Amino acid sequence: MKFDSNLTWKQASSAIAANREVLLALSGVFFLLPSLAFGLFFPQPEPAAGQNEQQLLALMGDYYSSAMPFMIPMALVQAAGTLALLTLFTDRSRPTVGEAIRQGIAGIVPYFLAQIMLGIAIGVVGGVLLAIGALTGAAALVGLAIAVVVALAIYAAIKTSLVAPIIAVERERNPVAAIRRSWLLTKGNSARIGLFYALVIVVFFVVMMILMALVGIVLALVAGDEVARVVAAVVSSTLGSVMTLYLVGIVAAIHRQLAGPSQEAASAPFE
């Protein structure tokens, strides 16, 4: 089936519009609250003037080391939320919200196993290419190797972008089978899907940057540093959760379009 980006956007936006209250509530619980808590309790450190590259790397390493105990459970919560939303968006059995959440929790392990396997594969291939480039001693070849690795990572992300709905909706619990199924579903449509993802992400980030800049200007005029930091974190987390909700809806619509569920399920209210 040929991928239709217009149909995908219409299905995603109509499903969100038809179930706005439920989806915003779930998005708030699974995306906004964890992101807000992380932003408030683990603000990114400000590098001091004159720090060299090694010092910056050490600063970021210390930051992520201290934040890791929170990042892991946050990732698990957000994965469960993503899978639950995908179940609501796409499952033709019309599950209740509670059933969707239970299905999301049940799919966490295979979902993360698939991500880990994909990361290992990209790491191995990328490491080999970078090592070959480094052995040549030519800066141009090293740069080319880096470009190839980035391109391969993006291509693999596009080809496996349907792993989550396959796990959530098709109840596939084998991560290898889920990756293979996603690879086959996107066959012949990878470029169109990738371009659509890129367009949506760029538009969302531009909107977020503009809104955050406007909020920052207002806060700088009327609020103190601490209040400004809290309000900025709330606004950023809210915008991020809305963006995530739409991205999940888009992935669900792409899976529905390529896997072939009924069109009526796309916009029916959730129970």
Note the pLDDT tens digit of each residue in 131-174: 887 887 777 888 888 888 899 999 999 999 999 999 998 999 99
Average pLDDT, the chain: 85
CA distance 222 to 9: 38
What one-character-per-residue DSSP string does 72-141 give?
A: HHHHHHHHHHHHHHHHHHH-TT---HHHHHHHHHHTHHHHHHHHHHHHHHHHHHHHHHHHHHHHHT-HHH
Tokens of 228: 């400004």
Contact assessment for residue 162 and residue 258, using Cβ atoms and an 8 Å cutoff: yes
Residue 2: per-residue pLDDT: 82
Residue 92 has a pLDDT of 66
* Cα 113 from Cα 224, distance rounded (Å): 44
Residue 50 three-state SS: coil
Element holding 24 (H helix, E strand): helix 20-27
Contact 71, 248 (CB under 8 A): no
Give pLDDT, residue 93: 65
Supply 94's token pair: 């019309």
pLDDT band, very low/low/confident/very high, at 41 (cuts 50, 70, 90):
confident
Closest CA to 9 of 203, 140, 176: 203
pLDDT of 265 > 70? The answer is no
Cα dihedral sign for 105, 106, 107, 108?
A: positive
Tell me how far apart the alpha carbons of residues 159 and 180 are, in angstroms, rounded to a whole number: 9
> Could you state, in order of their start, the residue ranges of all structural domains in the chain?
5-41+51-266
For the entire predicted model, the pTM comes to: 0.84
- Residues 178-193 have pLDDT tens digits of 999 999 999 999 999 9
Using 50, 70 and 90 to split pLDDT, how confident is the model at 216?
Answer: confident
**Percentage of the chain modeled with pLDDT above 70:** 93
The two tokens of residue 178 are 């889920």
Residue-level pLDDT at 229 = 81
> Where does the pLDDT of residue 267 fall: very low under 50, low under 70, confident under 90, or very high at 90 and above?
very low
Query: pLDDT-based confidence at 126, cuts 50/70/90?
Result: confident
- Among the residue ranges 24-28, 117-121, 227-231, 254-258, the one predicted with the least confidence is 227-231
Average pLDDT of the segment spanning 75-104 = 85
Residue 106, CB-side half-sphere exposure with 13 Å CA sphere: 16
Of 71, 66, 183, the C-alpha closest to 117 is 183
**pLDDT tens digits, 93-113:** 677 888 888 888 999 999 999
Give the pLDDT score at 50. 67
Task: Return d(Cα 119, Cα 114) in angstroms, integer.
Answer: 9
